[in-house]
Structure 1
Amino acid sequence: MHDEIEIIDTLRSGDVARAIAMARATIEARPDDPQALRVLAIALSMAGQPGEAHQALDRAIALAPQDSSLYYQRAALLVSENRSGDAQPALERSVELNPNELRSYVMQAQLALGQGNLDEADRLARLAARINPDHPWLMTIQGLVLLHRNQLPEAHKLIARGAQLAPDDIQTRYALALSFLAQGHLAFAEQAFRRVVAKNPKAVGIRHMLADVIRRQERPAEAAEVIEEGLALDDNFPPDVLRYAGELWLVANQHERALPLLRRAVAGMPDDRVAMDALIEALRRKGDKAQARDAVEDMLKASPHVDGLWSARLSFEPEGGDVAGIAARWREAVPESVHPLHVQMWQAIQDGDRAASRALAEQIIEREPGHVAAQSEIIEQLFNSDPAAAVAHIQGLLPQIPDPENRRMVLAWLGRAQDRAGQYADAVDTWAQVQAITGPKAVPLPPASGDARTWPPVVEVEVAGSRPVFLYGPPGSGAERLVSTFLHNFGKRMAVDRNSDQPPQDPLQFPQTATRLASGELDAAMAVAGWRGVLPQRGLASGAAPIDWLSWWDNALVPVLREGLPDALLLLVLCDPRDMLLDWLQRDSFVRHEAGTPAQMATWLATVLDQIAALVEGNYVAHRVVRLDGIADDAAAIASAVGASLDAPMSPAPALGPGRFPAGRWREYREALAEPFATLAPVARRLGYPDN
């Protein structure tokens, strides 16, 4: 016969088999002892025998149906089996039999916390506090409730006190780690997680959290090793954790150690695109394309139905390789997939076989009506052969496109088709719909400062070497074509970051600067100092003055260039204002604006162009004007015009982007855009363009 405490101590030592034998011996000696049966149930549960554990507990409860601790033990077994919902009646029975059964209140609170029911967890914790307010588990629960409510200092005080009272308890240590993590104390969180992992080394989730805390401290290799240490104890890790470890090794530039983990991750979740991309990257870094192809082929033998593996196989096919053969194999292996059809369509387009590409596009659309590439191929062919049919096709497609960004793209196709078909009023209506779908990244149009000051003509200063150049063109002017030319000729001297996700934080970035300059709140010297102050952070070439692409212009900036940067040159890009409006309306400016209706766009554009006209007429600052009328799609002509403006030879940019409407196309829209064009007519005359 063995004492229950001795059996529990044996369990804690890890010798579960001996503990079971001891418990059975005790029951043979005392078959009516419910506590011996309770201990046997615990041991059987730890041995992975839940059915036998519940049978032992059933016998114990039959012997002592009024013993609240046995119902608590029933709930604990069910929770360990991930059957928390089934545990609730046992906990309620335990409390009913013994209102002072603290453990049952604590477990109920823990379950409520796990379900995100903070109010219920708080209520149960308050009930339990009447029994023993200083119990470490109770303090931990109360602290976790506060932690979830973002009351971090109060939460940490309770959790730390609980951990102090029970320094070796896994639950209190885990909560302490979470508290440190919530406060951003990564090193302390790491140490707390390490103590939890040391107590429970096979806890995959906590090991994963420990690895992530280490990664956040920029130690990816050490983080990956934490996971691999767990793999040595239990090889049955979830695929997403294997993927994470592989990604960590990639970050640590150790692709050889990443490969086996990522192969296992892909094998375990072959449809996971993130795991597949990580595996492809590891194979790419290995540098042996033949070996990479062989590796992917091996995986395809095991999982031929996975599209991602076929994509990976294509990515390692050498130039001029058997793309068609791979696509055919892919199509045979995954006949329901549109992806091999897409590859075959692309191949037909490359080969110039538009009949085949059209047939393949139609097959794709039968399966996936919203497939962008297939729809684009059909519409592109209809544009050239039958624009009216293209209009009808796109109108039939629109009801199937609920996503705003995709709908915006399809509406742009429709407007282009209507233009080709001569349906000008309909095209304007469609483009107005496009402008109305602004999206989250759209920015308001810069407001005009109203600054109407005049200045005497500037006297240009002699400049030795390069001079700062500020480039500006209103929406629809084609200024981005000059940017392509400058990038080709000057590389990092050309600053394009004002239209990026990380623009420079200088006065010339913010349209409010114009109003501040006009009111006197800001002066030219302050604006120039702010501009110069951030130049070193913009990644520009050193030793040469920058070419800065401005996203707005207002004549309130004249003193900045005239007084603060007398050696600078303002390069203005223009064309007929009515062509500008038409181009802006049908395909956006380089930056998407909350532009409003065509009439509102014309009013704003006229205001900006009137300021530019005043600047040019009065020669307020050193400037040049590049007009793109008739040359917007001619890279050589643009290079020549820019070179002449800067008195420097320029070579043509290799690409300018999508083609523009030809100069004067606005005349086709005189009726459809009569009111906006009337708004622009005075400034068009002022800039030298004819009325008709």
Structure 2
Amino acid sequence: MAKFSKTVALAGCVLLTACGSSPEEEEQQKIDYASYDDAALEKLAADGEYQQALDIIKGQVELEIADSKDFLIESDIYLTLLDGVAAEVSLEKAREAGAPEEEISLRLARAYLLQQKATEAKETLEKAEFEGEERYQAMLLRGDIAQEEQDLEGARSYFQHAVEENPEDFRGHLGLALLALNQGQLAEAERYASHAATLVDDDPIIRYVRGSVARYQGRIEDAKEHLQKAVELHNANLLAYFELISLFIESGDTEQAQKQLDAVYALTPNSPMAQYYSALMLAIEGKPQEAEYLLLRTGDFTRAFPPAARVYGHVAFALGKYSTAQPYLERFLNRVPSDRVTRLALAECLTRRGQSKKALKVLEPLIGEGSQDLEGLLQAAAAHGSTGQVADARKYIEQAQAVAQSGDVQDQELIGLIGQRLALTQFISGDNEGAISQLRSLYADDEADVESLSLLANIQMESGDLAGAEETANRILALEPESAVGRNFIGALRFRERNTAAAIEEYTTALNSKPDYQSALKNRALAYLATQQFDLAKADLLKLENAGVEDAQVHAMLGRVYLELGEGREAANSLKRAEAIIPESAIIATDLAEAMALSGFRSSAITQANKAKKLAVRDPNLVQYLEDLIVTWQKLEAEEKIQAQADKEKQREELAKKRAEMEKARKALIEEGRAESPDEKKEEGADEEEPKSEEDDPPQN
């Protein structure tokens, strides 16, 4: 069970009491802020009218009548709303307004803890001295701090000490309940919470704990009862709201989930947690871009709260932003290794980013001997295939095909996809006839199988059977006359035939039918590049890049286009992105070296070119090209140094010449009597009377 760290600030926190829901909004009218004394503000807070209380305090600040007590009330409201940053600001204002440290310390420690600043919270408590009730609260808060620092034994010790000191106070038992809940010890959490419930009238946090336990144990109706009672008892019980939202999302009741979210937004419009749940609902609805926008607004929350990291990772994955998704998926999988969906997504991210060995390591729990995990086996095949280990890739695909054909899998589309992958590995391993036979058998089973026909056309084209590829492409067009796929294939064939103009025409037809068809955009950009139509190539490649495509070939082509256009810095940026995906590419490394040189960073270009040489060891022509570049750049570097030294020497000579001319002119003026010599000036200065200081004046009578 994922730990929500903000719960640790609750065990020692005395919640503001809520007395039912707030009344309906009345017509706005001018408020006499000065008429609200501390007692009136405290009552508003106790009644759950948080925003009204905050507005009045703001009004009093503007009237310059707010005092330290107002800021303390403000901080209590923010602590209730789990906004540690705002609470800290309010407490700083209270301190400036003269609030005594004993009224600030506990609150400030809670504010720090809500921000996950456990060290600062601990230091704040250590600097203060507490007595009576405040000492007891500080003890509970120290337990919360220990829990935040993952010192679970220390936390348990503090809470047990609180229980021993005052066994009739429910808060020590509640601290132990929250500790058990955050560790996933559900039976223990229920036992402590149930005992705490016998020591106090209905308490919202006890209800929250019991509702959470019931939810995780699958007792949905009990969970609803406890959690709804928790928000009824305290209408700002955000943790209970969030548990309810999770519960309704999991049960598919998005209407009720949204209702709870609306209540949270009414209390705290910028709540990162509420935004996370809104993003989760958008992701479930298949709206990853909208979900990403909301998650980005939460700032560091996606890093601090593991479930938010999971959602952001999957959203970025759905958008094809694999480098962004990877660290978030890794972070969550480290916490919850049993999350199969996250494991599969992470493996695919790694494979797509050229980290296939790492991907296979991630997949190990899913692909062991006798594995029946179809997706895991296919991911393993893809990872092996990306490193050129065709035999291993084929082994996993055959294993997946056996699982699919065992009768457990009824998805014929998936079975067809596995057959296509098997054909592809056969082709890569040199078994062209086997690959074509496999694809023809798939086509025979389903004459409308455009996917298999597309792969067949690719294999025929790559194996040099251009006539067969064209025949297959025409079959696709016969099935789907407006098919962008078919037109794209015909364009690729024309390009192979070196009829670039006809190829561009076919690609354009495909794009007229499907403007965002990435393969056609990339192919047309390549044709434009081949015909030196660099601006047109750039336009197509930028469409792909702006769509978030993480394709090394796209970045590399765009880098080459920028090079041809003389835009060195832009070229370097694109080529660095390509190199990050395929660091072993000698061509990309070479282009990046040229981009660096074009940008004026010749020394870095030489270093990059030497790196490219190591990668190009099997290509003697490229190695020679790089050596020539290095010699040229080194020569230019040396010439520039010599020229720079010569320029400096020339500047020194010119400066010395100017000084000599000025000295000559000055001497001429002296000889003509139009200027004084330095000696004459010194003599004149010696005759002048020194000015008197005030100390030399005679005393006044």
The normalised TM-score by structure 1 is: 0.39
Select the structure that is richer in helix.
2
The normalised TM-score by structure 2 is: 0.39
